Structure 1
Amino acid sequence: MKTVVIVNSNAGGGTSREEVEAACACMGDLSVVMSEAPGDAERLAREAVEEGADRVFAAGGDGTVNEVLNGLADGFDRVEMGILPMGTGNDLARCLGLPPQLLDAVTFACDQPSLPTDVVHVHGETSRFVLNVSAGGFGPMVGEKLTSESKTFWGPLAYMKSAVESLAEIEAFRCRVVADEEPMEASLLNVVVANGTHVAGGIPIAPSAKLDDGYFDVLLFPDVALPDLAVLVPMVLAGVHEESERLIRRRCRSLRIESDPQMMFNVDGEIFGGTPLAFDILPRVLRLVRRP
């Protein structure tokens, strides 16, 4: 089996090709390639498909995983994907229950088969595939304040620090949403489209979401009074918010959203674009190395 490992050279405080090759020796016919700049991992994944790879692993954080996913899009039916968590947030790895240490993750990958997995397709002026979570409103505002330096210094706490710094800028959006065939209008602070369960370095934003059920979970956070928000935020951090009357939750195959003003969205933690946007589930199109 021909395996390509695409490594974010900045992940894990900087990891060399030789270190990864040594860790991944059990993978047999192995090629390790380094991603040095944004867009590299997507290009390298596309090249791996063209060159006949059987398995392609993303070694890095959530941004690297998303780039590799999109690079594999034309080969979903031909190539298996795997993840070696080496970033700051590693939210998808957490959702999948992957070992956090490189050697343990490699051992897991060598022993584990791939399983059919859902992917979300988001499209507006451009399009992108999403494996974990896409969020709009407050979430991308937090992401815009993150820097590589803050993530290196603060680790997972960088997301919380950025969230606190963004509170003063929080704004409401007048939204029209169509969840499957159900239209609704609301003033919203945040919108979450979740295929996976965790965001922002470990927050269980959608604990009930499943990667292979043919649906994504939608969480709409209305523009509520500050006391209600003060109650809701700790519930979100504890993962006990899904049935709260202070938010709107749906399980969907498709979602359409328009807003005024324009609401910006991220995909797997990386800024993508703004409304109007459409989200669609692609059931079980990706073969992903993971636990059942």
Structure 2
Amino acid sequence: MALPLAGDLRQPHPQGARHRRQGRSAERTGDAARTRRGSRLSHHRGRRQLTTGLLDARSRIDLVPAPSSPLFIVNPIAGSGRAHGLAPRIEAWMAEQGIHGRLLETRERGHAERLAAEAADLGHDRVIAVGGDGTIQEVLNGLMATGLGPDGGVPLMGIVPAGRGNDVARGVGLPPNDPIGSLPVAAGEATQPFDVGKASDDGGAIRYFAAAGGVGFDAQVAWTMAFNRKAWMRGEAGYFLATLNELRRFRNRDLRVTLRGDDGARVVDQRSLFIAFANGPYYGGGMQICPGASTNDGWLDICIVGDLSRFEALRELPGIYRARHVNNPKVEIVQARALRIEGDAETRVHLDGEPFGGLPLEVSVLPGAVRVAVA
């Protein structure tokens, strides 16, 4: 029987779990912060060096964290690369606290999702996302793919905010700009239920989201930032300038939204700048799009922004950070368990700032689908 290599996610869980191969993941462990002996296994070394790496890995089997330990998934390019510098600091913190956890860095889009799914299958007691809202969304989708935590309960997720927006962290009361200060919370015992948003389009695509999504103008900005970002669009100032640039070109859309709640359905059919649906109060890097939204109330809050002119939109946009837009008569905020949005097939859609599918769009909430570590 072959010995499991250090850092290999194919270790069997004591209660039996599916064994998946995690691929070429860059792994760090809390113990490795204190012990870095021998040569390291590399995919690009010669046969002799490869053999040395295998022998060294096998000699350090006792350093492999137990499957029940937390898994930190770090997106090294989150926050314009800020998260990459956090890896050694997290290792040092784990060593100081005596936490025998794994730390893996992602290498491509979708990697965090695959790692989270494998970690849950192998019985890790929690997966901690280190990055921005996009990283959290990937981890969330990986956890939702498995459906259950190691004890048969719902999956448990920790958050270390290290991105640009960090709206999910804001929504659960974490400081959005203190990743190291968030470590004790992310690995701590205090948790609470966390609702999960679910979106699907007519093409069969399904995606889960944590903070909020939108259709129309806000989604157009998200698509531009994802696929057509210019050099001057970096940082918060660049994002705001990109928003102004899109506003100059955007045309309001005819949108029809069907809202479904406990008392039946309601239809709103009008020309709109955008429609946002929120699990938590924040999106877009601190904008209070739905200030009364809660991540554990079993409802989605929907902000329907009507046919605002460019001048009206320009006047209202800065006020969203302080929730002043709710006073505009062309803005309506309602709650629903589910909704369907229909309109022009070319109208953009985003989830947690990440582009998604198109219209028509079905959105619903899954109450308490995961648990999140909180202060």
Contact 2:74 2:106 (8 Å CA) reproduced: yes
> 2:89 is matched by which residue type in structure 1?
E
Q: Which amino acid aligns with 1:192?
A: A
SS at match of 2:247: helix
Q: Which residue of 2 aligns with 1:85?
A: 161
Mean CA deviation greater in 107-116 or 87-96:
107-116
- Closer/same/farther in 2, CA of residues 257 and 192 from structure 1, 3 Å limit: same
The residue number in structure 2 matching 1:113 is 190
Give the Å deviation of 1:236. Answer: 1.9
* Higher alpha-carbon deviation: 267-276 or 97-106: 97-106
1:38 and 2:109 equivalent?
yes
Query: What amino acid sits opposite 2:372 in the alignment?
Result: L
Query: Where does 1:6-155 land on structure 2 (aligned, <5 Å)?
Result: 6-12=73-79, 13=81, 14-15=84-85, 17-25=87-95, 26=97, 28-78=99-149, 79-99=155-175, 100-124=177-201, 125=203, 126-146=205-225, 154-155=234-235
Aligned partner (choices 331, 344, 347) of residue 263 of structure 1? 347
The alpha carbon displacement at 1:34 in A equals 1.0
> In the alignment, which residue of structure 1 is the partner of 2:29?
none
| Distance change (3 Å), C-alpha of 1:131 and 1:238 | same
Q: Over residues 175-198 of structure 1, what are the superposed CA-to-partner deviations in whole Å (9 max), with x where a residue is unaligned?
A: 121001111211111110000111
Structure 1 or 2: more strand by fraction:
1
Separation in 1, partners of 2:94, 2:218: 35
SS of corresponding position for 2:341: strand
C-alpha offsets along residues 49-84 of structure 1, whole Å, 9 cap, x if unaligned? 111111001101111000000000034431310111
**Alpha carbons 1:173, 1:261 under 8 Å: kept:** no
Take 2:140 and 2:223, find their aligned partners in 1: how far apart are those partners? 22
Distance 1:150 1:102, change over 3 A: farther
Q: Under a length normalisation based on structure 2, what TM-score does the superposition of the two structures give?
A: 0.72
* Superposed displacement of residue 152, structure 1: 10
Q: Which region of structure 1 is more displaced relative to structure 2, 107-116 or 126-135?
A: 107-116
Could you tell me how far 1:91 is from its partner in structure 2?
1.4
* Cα distance in structure 1, aligned partners of 2:350 and 2:184: 32
1:2 aligns with 2:69: yes
Say which of 229, 237, 241 aligns to 2:313.
229
- Residues 32 and 22 of structure 1: CA distance in aligned 2, closer, same or farther (over 3 Å): same
- Considering Cα pairs closer than 8 Å and 6+ residues apart, tell me whether 1 or 2 has the greater RCO: 1
Q: How many residues align?
A: 291
Compare 234-243 and 82-91 and name the one that shifted more.
234-243
Q: Report the more deviating stretch, 191-200 or 64-73.
A: 191-200
Aligned-partner SS, 2:325: coil
Tell me by how many angstroms 1:153 deviates. Answer: 7.9
Letter in 2 for 1:262: E
Residue identity matched to 1:98: L
Following TM superposition, by how much is the alpha carbon of 1:173 offset from its aligned partner in structure 2, in angstroms?
Answer: 1.4
How far apart are the structure 2 equivalents of 1:57 and 1:214? 23
Which residue of structure 1 lines up, in the alignment, with residue 369 of structure 2? 285
- Residue by residue, what CA displacement relative to the aligned partner does 1:125-173 show, whole Å, maximum 9, x if unpaired? 2010111001111112112232698799842223212101111221121
Matched with 2:14 is none
The separation in 2 between residues aligned to 1:233 and 1:155, in whole angstroms, is 18
Computing the radius of gyration from Cα coordinates, the structure with the larger value is: 2
Task: Quote the residue 1:166 is aligned against.
Answer: 246
Percent identity, aligned pairs only, is 31
Distance 1:241 1:37, change over 3 A: same
When the two chains are superposed, the root-mean-square deviation of aligned CA atoms in Å is 2.2
- Give the Cα separation in 2 of the matches to 1:188 and 1:270: 21
Deviations 1:104-142 (A, max 9, x none): 010222334221111111111201011100111111211
Within the alignment, does 1:193 sit opposite 2:265 as a pair?
no
Letter of the 1:134 partner, please give it: G
